[in-house]
């Protein structure tokens, strides 16, 4: 068990360069692995000589599971009253492709008080909808939802369970996975099916998006993943779709040790960074809270959300809920306009996967231009008013 | 109130860069730091001890040099720290890591609260806290941005969600994961630095924490990394030229042509 360097090693040092943990040295022309290696496999992947072998012991399945008993792809739909979280639709679109590749069914699993209309889920690609309705499920309590999802999984045995990587999904899914003693891959940005074994290939960014890892869960079921919102496109609505609805009667004890006393909405609609198609973000280059008003105006004009660098959040120009970056939110909108943001690596980590990036900055050498599709070198305080009036003309508002 | 804070030593965030020529990961130095979110967890633990009395301990799993991170925590007011370190732990995914931490927690004396950062900078999963709570059979709330009060064995706190926040109340012992909005980590005091210098950090192996060998390290990890790669991003990288007016109109034209606005 562990990592082995074979005699094929030529001491080229490629592995030393790629090791994210600085755990390899070249000693007398051979790679030597230090004790703090995490067996992440970056070196084995990079080694041109195929001299690095990572031995994997067989993981003992929890029980002698007949894998064929576990069939179908499930999307755990996140509802808010009668609304559906956009990421759930995105997952139905992606789940459809996975189910087709596996020649199996795509099911949506819905927990709630029964007020949610499930017809829409068929139109988005689901073959089946499992609906567990109970008054206690109305509040989206994470403990009760974990118990309910666990019961449904144990009863119907899906081979794959996907959920949005939201504050809800990232709390419920680990509780369920730990109880099932199965694998859970966090915050995936790519999903596929391995052709040979039919395993779910789960690709996710690590190190703030600078390294991608593809992860499998070969021996235990279900294979579980949370998926980052806004990565996949929402499927087209197919109006004629129909499917099978299964009303699940929950038998288990639905109690929570956590009492929800209140839920306070701070952001008005359209301000939510994670759901925005367009984000206009401001940095220190704007000079002041007054300068930041241009960012807000442009965001309003584009019907987008307002983002900010850590520097201006620390200055108190906008609340933390707007912070984009490694210690803030990770976003990937269709358009990200970085205004007066130099692009520290921690900021880039939170936005570099955006579809299109526009950078406006005075310093032509600012790192933000390295990730930008379009750049304007100039004083953001001068450029933004021009951009706003130009767009107003474009929209016929001038 | 007796508190355990779980911390992880991570590569300093600025260490991670892509060499544009070779498209590989390069490092400026081998600096390692306390995971930034865990620094807020440590601060929360120390502040709670100051308010309610009791003790605050840190627990970390990692290579022997992670004892440095534990000493950093002691320098800002943590009473003592424990490192769980063993070659057997290598290759642990979140399930095996959370199991290992829970085994170490069981070995520690009684506790009222376990605090974790919301996620680490290197792994970014945020799963270890909730999974550990499950192994220990205690409640877990995530993304805590404010601790309102601790009273009669219950904690009241605010939990960050996408739209705003929730106010929740739960019995202790419990696991919480915290976001950076919670507090501002303090700087070490002279006395703290002295205490850190003197501190001995006990190192526990898999045997010491009586961990089931089949549930730790690679054997206890249902997920495997099958491939790692550096992301390739196709960028237009167009820098407009000319007067600001012209640059702006060129930009608007491009965005219009692409159907973005």
pLDDT (tens digit per residue) in B164-186: 899 999 999 999 999 988 999 99
Q: What is the number of alpha carbons within 13 Å of residue A319 lying toward its C-beta?
A: 11
What pLDDT, in 10s, does the model give residues A348-373? 888 988 889 999 999 999 999 989 99
pLDDT of residue B14: 44
**Predicted local confidence at residue A194, as pLDDT:** 93
Domain boundary pick from A214, A248, A282: A248
| Burial annotation B154-163 (CB, 10 A radius, 16+ → b, else e) | ebbbbbbbbb
pLDDT for the residue B29: 44
A88-92, B89-93, B224-228: range with highest mean pLDDT = A88-92
A298 lies in some domain: yes
B16/A210 touch (CB, cutoff 8 Å), yes or no: yes
What is the predicted pLDDT for the residue at A60? 59
pLDDT at B140 over 60: yes
Q: In this structure, is residue A260 part of a structural domain? A: no
pLDDT at A188 over 70: yes
Put simply, the chain A residues between 147 and 176 with a CB less than 8 A from any chain B CB are: 166-168, 170-171, 173-175
Q: pLDDT value at position A375?
A: 95
Contact A264 B165 (CB under 8 A): yes
Answer whether residue B36 is part of any domain. Answer: yes
Q: How far apart are CA B34 and CA B8, in angstroms?
A: 6
At residue A17 the predicted structure's pLDDT band, cuts being 50, 70 and 90, is confident
Q: Is residue A230 very low, low, confident or very high in pLDDT (cuts 50, 70, 90)?
A: confident
Model confidence at B15, in pLDDT bands (50, 70, 90)?
Answer: very low
Give the closest of A1, A371, A376 to B251, CB-based: A376
CA distances from A214 to A203, A277, A353 (A): 4, 27, 17
For B63, the closest of A36, A166, A220 (CB atoms) is: A36
CB contact under 8 A, A364 and B239: yes
Q: Which residues of A174-190 are buried (b: 16+ CB within 10 A; e: fewer)?
A: bbbbbbbbbbbbbbbbb
Mean pLDDT confidence for A318-346? 89
Counting Cβ atoms within 10 Å, is residue A316 exposed (0-12), middle (13-18) or buried (19+)? exposed
Residue A22 and residue A149 in one domain:
no
What is the rounded CA–CA span in Å between residue A243 and residue A125? Answer: 9
Contact B238, B118 (CB under 8 A): no
Q: Chain B residue with minimal CA distance to A14?
A: B24
Domain presence at residue B149? yes
Please indicate, yes or no, whether the overall pTM of this predicted structure exceeds 0.95.
no
For residue B240, is it within any domain?
no
The overall average pLDDT reported for chain B is 90
pLDDT of residue B23: 46
* Closest A-chain CA to B66: A36
Nearest by CB to A358, which of B220, B244, B251?
B251
Do A190 and A239 sit in the same domain of this protein? yes
Residue B221: inside a domain, yes or no? no
A130 and A216 inside one domain: yes
A158/A241 same-domain check: yes
Q: Alpha-carbon distance A325 to B124, whole Å?
A: 12
- Per-residue pLDDT, B260: 82
| pLDDT of amino acid B16 | 53
Chain B residue numbers with beta carbons less than 8 Å from the beta carbon of A316 are: none
Partner B contacted by A45 (CB < 8 A): yes
Give the chain B residue whose CA is nearest to the CA of A210: B230
Indicate yes or no: CB of A369 within 8 angstroms of CB of B87: no
- State residue A231's pLDDT score: 82
A306 and A367 share a domain?
yes
Confidence band of A220 (pLDDT split at 50, 70, 90): very high
Express as a percent the part of chain B with pLDDT over 70. Answer: 91
Is the pLDDT assigned to residue A314 strictly greater than 80?
yes
| Segments in chain A forming alpha helices (H) | 14-18, 42-46, 86-102, 119-123, 142-156, 169-180, 289-301, 310-315, 345-351, 368-371, 380-394
Residue A257 within a domain: no
Q: Do A326 and B121 touch (CB under 8 A)?
A: yes
Separation between Cα atoms, residue A166 and residue A149, nearest integer Å = 16
Asked if the model's pLDDT at residue A300 lies above 90, the reply is yes
The verdict on residue A267 lying in a domain is no
pLDDT at B21 over 90: no
Q: Cα–Cα distance between A338 and A369 in angstroms, integer?
A: 10
Same domain (yes/no): A198, A72: yes
Average pLDDT over residues A125-136: 93
What's the pLDDT score for residue A302? 93
Q: Taking residues A104-115, what's their average pLDDT?
A: 94
pLDDT tens for B66-118 read: 999 999 999 999 999 999 999 899 889 999 999 999 999 999 978 999 999 99
- Tell me, yes or no, if A16 comes closer than 8 A to chain B by beta carbon: no
For B43, the enclosing helix (H) or strand (E) is helix B36-52
> To the nearest whole number, what is the mean pLDDT of chain A?
89
Question: In this model, does residue A100 exceed pLDDT 50?
Answer: yes
Residues A349 and A227 in one domain: no
CB within 8 Å: A213 and B160: no
CATH of the domain at A205: 3.40.50.620
The answer to whether B139 contacts A390, with C-beta atoms less than 8 Å apart, is no
> Whole domain around residue B187: which residue ranges?
2-215
Residues of chain A with C-beta less than 8 angstroms from the C-beta of B252: 387, 390-391, 394
pLDDT of residue A239: 67
pLDDT at A55 over 90: no
Judge whether B205 and B216 are in contact, CB under 8 Å.
Answer: no
Compute, in degrees rounded to 10, the torsion defined by CA atoms A45, A47, A49, A53: -60
Domain count for chain B, please give it. 1
**Residues A41 and A164 occupy one common structural domain:** no
Q: Which of residues 348-367 of A touch B (CB under 8 A)?
A: 349, 352-353, 356-358, 364
Tell me the pLDDT tens digit for each residue of A240-270.
Answer: 678 899 999 998 888 899 999 999 887 654 5
Contact across the interface for B127 and A184, Cβ inside 8 Å: yes
Same domain, yes or no: A33 and A112:
no
pLDDT 10s digits, A63-75: 545 677 899 999 9
Question: What's the total number of domains in chain A?
Answer: 3
CA distance B190 to chain A (A): 26
| Partners of residue B217 in chain A, C-beta under 8 Å | 1
Are A109 and A215 found together in one domain?
yes
* CATH number for position B163: 3.40.50.620
For residues A286 and A361, membership in a common domain is answered with yes
In a domain, A61, yes or no: no
Of residues B155 and B88, more confidence is placed in B155
Secondary structure (DSSP) of A181-221 = T--EEEEESEEEE-TTT--EEEEEEEGGGTEEEEEE--SSS
Predicted local confidence at residue B28, as pLDDT: 47
* Contact present, A41 and A21 (Cβ < 8 Å): no
Helix, strand or coil, per DSSP, at residue B73: helix
Residues A14, A89, single domain; the answer is no
Taking the alpha carbons of B84, A34, B232, A6 in that order, is the dihedral positive or negative? negative
CATH number of the domain to which A28 belongs: 3.30.70.20
Q: What is the mean pLDDT of residues B226-230?
A: 81
Closest CA in chain B for residue A211: B230
From CA A177, how far away is CA B32, in angstroms rounded? 30
Nearest CA to CA, how far is A189 from chain B (Å)? 11
The domain of A37 spans 2-55
In sequence order, which residues have a C-beta less than 8 Å from that of residue B210 and are 6 or more positions away?
Answer: B103, B107
Q: Residue A162 pLDDT more than 90?
A: yes
> Does residue B13 carry a pLDDT above 70?
no
Whether A327 and B37 lie within 8 Å, measured CB to CB = yes
Assess whether pLDDT exceeds 70 at residue A127.
Answer: yes
């Amino acid at each position: 068990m562990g990592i082995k360097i074979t005699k094929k090693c030529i001491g080229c040092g490629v592995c030393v360069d790629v090791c994210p943990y600085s755990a390899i040295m070249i000693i007398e022309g051979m790679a030597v692995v230090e004790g703090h290696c995490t067996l992440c496999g970056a070196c084995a992947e990079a080694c041109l000589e195929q001299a690095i072998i990572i031995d994997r012991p067989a993981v003992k399945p929890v029980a002698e599971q007949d894998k064929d008993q576990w069939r179908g792809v499930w999307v755990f739909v996140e509802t808010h009253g009668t609304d559906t979280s956009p990421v759930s639709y995105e997952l139905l679109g992606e789940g459809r492709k996975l189910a087709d590749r596996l020649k199996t069914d795509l099911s949506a699993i819905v927990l709630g008080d029964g007020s949610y209309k499930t017809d829409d889920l068929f139109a988005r690609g689901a073959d089946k909808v499992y609906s567990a309705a109970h008054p206690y499920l109305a509040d989206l309590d994470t403990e009760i939802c974990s118990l309910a999802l666990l019961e449904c999984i144990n009863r119907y045995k899906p081979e794959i369970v996907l959920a949005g990587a939201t504050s809800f999904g990232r709390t419920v899914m680990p509780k369920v996975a730990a109880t099932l003693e199965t694998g859970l891959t966090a915050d995936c940005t790519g999903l596929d099916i391995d052709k040979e074994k039919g395993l779910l290939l789960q690709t996710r960014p690590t190190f703030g998006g600078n390294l991608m890892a593809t992860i499998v869960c070969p021996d235990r079921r279900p294979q579980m993943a949370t998926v980052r919102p806004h990565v996949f496109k929402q499927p087209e609505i197919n109006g004629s779709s129909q499917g099978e609805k299964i009303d699940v009667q929950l038998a288990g004890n639905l109690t929570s040790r956590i009492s929800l006393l209140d839920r306070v909405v701070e952001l008005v609609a359209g301000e939510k960074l994670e759901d925005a198609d367009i984000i206009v973000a401001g940095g220190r280059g704007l000079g002041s809270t007054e300068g930041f008003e241009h960012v807000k105006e442009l965001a309003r004009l584009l019907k987008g959300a307002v983002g900010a660098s850590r520097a201006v959040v620390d200055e108190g120009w906008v609340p933390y809920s707007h912070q984009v970056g490694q210690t803030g939110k990770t976003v990937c909108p269709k358009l990200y306009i970085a205004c007066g943001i130099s692009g520290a690596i921690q900021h880039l980590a939170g936005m570099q996967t955006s579809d299109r990036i526009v950078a406006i900055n005075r310093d032509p050498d600012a790192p933000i231009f390295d990730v930008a599709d379009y750049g304007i070198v100039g004083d953001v305080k001068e450029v933004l008013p021009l951009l706003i009036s130009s767009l107003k003309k474009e929209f016929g508002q001038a | 109130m007796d508190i355990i804070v779980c911390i992880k030593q991570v590569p300093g965030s600025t260490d991670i860069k892509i060499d544009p020529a070779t498209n590989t990961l390069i490092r400026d130095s081998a600096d390692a730091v306390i995971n930034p979110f865990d620094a807020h967890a440590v601060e929360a633990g120390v502040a709670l001890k100051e308010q309610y009395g009791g003790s605050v301990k840190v627990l970390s799993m990692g290579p022997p040099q992670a004892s440095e991170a534990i000493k950093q925590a002691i320098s800002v007011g943590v009473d003592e720290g424990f490192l769980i370190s063993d070659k057997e732990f290598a290759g642990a995914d979140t399930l095996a890591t959370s199991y290992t931490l829970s085994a170490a927690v069981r070995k520690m004396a009684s506790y009222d609260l376990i605090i974790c950062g919301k996620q680490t900078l290197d792994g970014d999963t945020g799963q270890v806290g909730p999974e550990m709570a499950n192994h220990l059979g205690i409640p877990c709330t995530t993304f805590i941005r404010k601790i309102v009060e601790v009273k009669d064995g219950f904690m009241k706190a605010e939990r960050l969600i996408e739209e705003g926040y929730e106010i929740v109340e739960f019995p202790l012992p419990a696991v919480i994961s915290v976001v950076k909005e919670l507090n501002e980590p303090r700087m070490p005091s002279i006395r703290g630095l002295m205490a850190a210098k003197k501190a001995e950090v006990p190192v526990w192996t898999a045997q010491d924490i009586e961990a089931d060998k089949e549930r730790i390290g690679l054997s206890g990890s249902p997920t495997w990394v099958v491939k790692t790669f550096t992301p390739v991003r196709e960028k237009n990288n167009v820098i407009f030229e000319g007067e600001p007016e012209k640059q702006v109109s060129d930009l608007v034209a491009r965005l219009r042509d692409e159907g973005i606005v």
